[in-house]
Structure 1
Amino acid sequence: MRLILIDHEAAFVTRVRQVARRAGLVEPVDEVADLSALARLAERNPQLTLVGMVSTTMAVRGAIKEFVQRCPQVPLIAVGGNDPERMRAALGEGARAYVRRGDVGEELPNALDVVRDGGVFVPPVVAMRPGGEPLMTVAGPVPAGFFREDAGKQLTPRQREILSMIRSGRNNQEIADTLDLTVGTVKIHITAIFKALGVRNRTQAMVAADWLDLPILAQRVPTEA
């Protein structure tokens, strides 16, 4: 497996090479100028097992999606800051992993391992909780940062509806009011959803919902009596 980097900072490239070498998961790391160059490399060398790694600052909107459509066999790792919206945008366009630039030493080996096994890596992004809501976690065999792509088949219609509401940014009280449930019942459903997806928090659940292409539900406008 060869890692192909698209980044503008020499020091970061050196850091990635060191991390990849210590992890022992890839052959020597190479560089290309942009995603178009990576696509040409992949098309000229179909026998190579490539993984792309691109800084989100060097990929304009839509570029990742275009690359994934052109080279679906080449998994792409997006690199950026601790920014949930940028992470969701990159993964929504088809990147197979998102690694935070400042935590590349800890996250890249896990991302490479998950991507190699056909999974999607989502970092444990901090400070993502809605106001005052406790962070829910579940214990299980699924490693942090990975969600199963077949998880949508395991969800009940009610759980898919709640996951769509999570994707839309609704909190537990809003979900409960909309579905005429108690907040406690909503939390039970969310715990089951997290376990089915193999995710650890709402941000990762949103990414999973994006990947599963669940609908984004509009806020209901109350009707007058």
Structure 2
Amino acid sequence: MRLILIDHEAAFVTRVRQLARRAGVIDPVDEVADLADLAQVAKANPKALIVGMVSTTMAVRGAIKEFVQRCPNVPLIAVGGNDPDRMRAALGEGARAYIRRSDVGDELLSALEVVRDGGVFVPPVVAMRPGGEPLMTVAGPVPAGFFREDAGKQLTPRQREILSMIRAGRNNQEISEALDLTVGTVKIHITAIFKALGVRNRTQAMVAADWLDLPVVEAVVTSA
């Protein structure tokens, strides 16, 4: 496996090199200036197992998506902070993993194993909504196939409504008020959604919805 870094911080690059060397799973670890350069390396080495690792601060919006379309066989690991919105944006554009700079020592090797096996790695992310209310729960490493590819067909119209609201970051109380349902009924629907998607929590449901590109459904007040 060949790891190629796109990052602006020399100390972080050195840290990644040390982790890779200690694990003995990557050789060599190189650097390039941007995703365009990474695409050129991939083109020049079509038979190599290359994994790209790019800081989200060095990838403008749309750059990851463009790279994935250009080099679909080169998985990208996005690196950023403990930011679920940035994580979802990177994964939504096609990155195969998201790891946090502050936890690279704990997350890098797991991410490499997951993407090598064709999966999507989501770190344990705990985020807070502006009002101080928990939005995300701990997701942990996600193995290949962590959601069903046909999940969109499994959902009822009501479940698609609720999933679109989960994707928008609404909590159970907000969903219940918008749809004129009890919180208990909302929880029952969410349990069914998780089962249909094959996920364990809201973080994974959001990522699955992004990957499946389910259309946003306008909430309407109807009976359950």
TM-score, normalised via structure 1 length: 0.83
SS for the counterpart of 1:126 is coil
In structure 1, the residue matched to 2:2 is: 2
In structure 1, the residue matched to 2:113 is: 113
After alignment, is 161-170 or 109-118 more displaced? 161-170
Q: Are positions 1:163 and 2:177 aligned together?
A: no
**Identity score, percent:** 75
Cα deviation for residue 218 of structure 1 reads: 4.4
Q: Which runs of 5+ in 1 are unaligned?
A: none
In structure 1, the residue matched to 2:142 is: 145
- Larger relative contact order, structure 1 or 2 (CA cutoff 8 Å, min sep 6): 1
In 1, Cα distance between equivalents of 2:14 and 2:137: 37
In structure 2, the residue matched to 1:28 is: 28
In 1, Cα distance between equivalents of 2:196 and 2:100: 25
SS for the counterpart of 2:127 is coil
Residues 199, 107 of structure 1: alpha-carbon distance in 2 compared, 3 angstrom cutoff: farther
Aligned residues: 217
In structure 2, the residue matched to 1:78 is: 78
User: Aligned AA for 2:13?
Assistant: V
Q: Is the 8 A contact 1:128 1:203 kept in 2?
A: no
User: Aligned AA for 2:207?
Assistant: V
User: Aligned AA for 1:159?
Assistant: Q
After alignment, is 203-212 or 94-103 more displaced? 203-212
Q: Is the 8 A contact 1:82 1:100 kept in 2?
A: yes
Q: Is the 8 A contact 2:179 2:219 kept in 1?
A: no
Residues 135, 187 of structure 1: alpha-carbon distance in 2 compared, 3 angstrom cutoff: farther
Residues 134, 126 of structure 1: alpha-carbon distance in 2 compared, 3 angstrom cutoff: closer
Q: Deviations over 1:56-107 (max 9, x none)?
A: 1111111111111110111100001111221111111111111100000111
Residues 216, 113 of structure 1: alpha-carbon distance in 2 compared, 3 angstrom cutoff: same
In 2, Cα distance between equivalents of 1:206 and 1:88: 8
Q: Is the 8 A contact 1:79 1:98 kept in 2?
A: yes
Residues 214, 23 of structure 1: alpha-carbon distance in 2 compared, 3 angstrom cutoff: farther
In 2, Cα distance between equivalents of 1:81 and 1:46: 32
Residues 21, 128 of structure 1: alpha-carbon distance in 2 compared, 3 angstrom cutoff: farther
Residues 134, 203 of structure 1: alpha-carbon distance in 2 compared, 3 angstrom cutoff: closer
Q: Are positions 1:182 and 2:179 aligned together?
A: no
In 1, Cα distance between equivalents of 2:192 and 2:22: 37
User: Aligned AA for 2:147?
Assistant: R
SS for the counterpart of 1:27 is coil
After alignment, is 45-54 or 83-92 more displaced? 83-92
In 1, Cα distance between equivalents of 2:195 and 2:33: 40
Q: Is the 8 A contact 1:56 1:79 kept in 2?
A: yes
| RMSD (Å), alpha carbons | 2.7
Residues 18, 199 of structure 1: alpha-carbon distance in 2 compared, 3 angstrom cutoff: farther
